[in-house]
Amino acid sequence: MPVASRFDLSGRVALVTGASRGIGSAIAETLAEHGAQVVLSSRKQADLDSEAERINALYAERATPIAAHAGRPEELERLVKDVMERFSRIDILVNNAGTNPYFGPLIGAELSAWDKTFEVNLRGVFVLTKLVYEASMEARGGSIVNISSIGGLRPGLGLGVYNVTKAGVIMLTRQLARELGGKVRVNAVAPGLVKTRFAEALWGNQEILDRVLAQNPMGRIGVPDEIAAAVLFLASDAASYVNGEVLVVDGGGGGEM
């Protein structure tokens, strides 16, 4: 098979969470660029509508916006039902939605912040994956890409609760890959610091930014399109024999924040 055609997603339906901005937006656009019909999901319909309009101006009728809170099972159930009614299949699932309501020492976290972070970052990934698998992938197969973090591999200052959830995403990825790998490939991307609004508290802090740049051989932080390219690879036939892997995309920085 020619290399270019291995990245062709024509005829496939992709569902991307946290898709109204940042990394999720870049992922949705990249998958649409390569032929997929992409369902964009996040909490706010208005934000999704504008993002879908932007993508559709580039790739006509490729983007469909459907709002759903990634931490609420009833909304995720409605989301999957809606996607199946519209397209009858889900071939690619990208679990990108995430939250981080607390920055500080792990031991100082309130239980409410712990619960909210787990609700979206880990439980939500499990719930949506289960729903998509039962609705479509169990019968048709598919590819799942979970967005973790280098914080899920190595500890870092201030992001303890977030990092614990992302470590959970990595183990969830590997466990599901082992269980579903004959039919569904499950992989993860672990970004380093990326220039998004979500991460602005980090890259907008000069002390933190200087520390990250000092240990990064590329001398810069990442941008969303670079994470999207990794997701495209894992979602496509180019990665047909890749399963249960965590692809670190951090410029070789080593993971410390």
pLDDT digit string, tens, across residues 84-132: 999 999 999 999 999 999 999 999 999 999 999 999 999 999 999 999 9
160-180 vs 124-132: helix crossing angle, rounded to 10? 20
Strands (E), 91-224: 92-95, 142-147, 184-191
pLDDT at 60 over 70: yes
Residues 187 and 208: their CA atoms lie apart, in Å, by: 29
Split at pLDDT 50, 70, 90, the class of 181 is confident
Residues 66 and 44: their CA atoms lie apart, in Å, by: 9
Contact 103, 150 (CB under 8 A): no
Our CA angle for 14, 151, 98, nearest 5°, is: 40
Give me the domains of the chain, ranges plus CATH numbers. 3-196+224-248 (3.40.50.720)
Share of the chain above pLDDT 70, in %: 94
Share of the chain above pLDDT 90, in %: 80
Between residues 210 and 155, which one has the greater pLDDT? Answer: 155
pLDDT at 256 over 70: no
Burial 95-113 (b: 16+ CB within 10 A, else e): bbbbbbebbeebeebeeeb
Q: Which pLDDT does position 210 carry in this prediction?
A: 73
241 is catalytic: no
Q: What is the mean pLDDT of residues 36-63?
A: 97
Q: Which pLDDT does position 197 carry in this prediction?
A: 73
Residue type, 225: D
Contact 7, 1 (CB under 8 A): no
Q: Which pLDDT does position 87 carry in this prediction?
A: 98
Q: What is the mean pLDDT of residues 215-237?
A: 91
Residue type, 140: R
Residues 67 and 257: their CA atoms lie apart, in Å, by: 32
CB atoms < 10 A from the CB of 139, how many? 11
Contact 101, 117 (CB under 8 A): yes
Q: Which pLDDT does position 217 carry in this prediction?
A: 87
Q: What is the mean pLDDT of residues 5-16?
A: 96
Between residues 69 and 221, which one has the greater pLDDT? Answer: 69
Strands 184-191, 37-41: parallel, antiparallel or unpaired by DSSP? unpaired
Go through the chain and tell me how many residues it has. Answer: 257
**From 59, 133, 162, 241, the catalytic residue:** 162
Q: Which pLDDT does position 3 carry in this prediction?
A: 66
Q: What is the mean pLDDT of residues 221-230?
A: 91
Q: Which pLDDT does position 255 carry in this prediction?
A: 55
| pTM assigned to the model | 0.94
pLDDT at 41 over 60: yes
Residues 140 and 89: their CA atoms lie apart, in Å, by: 8
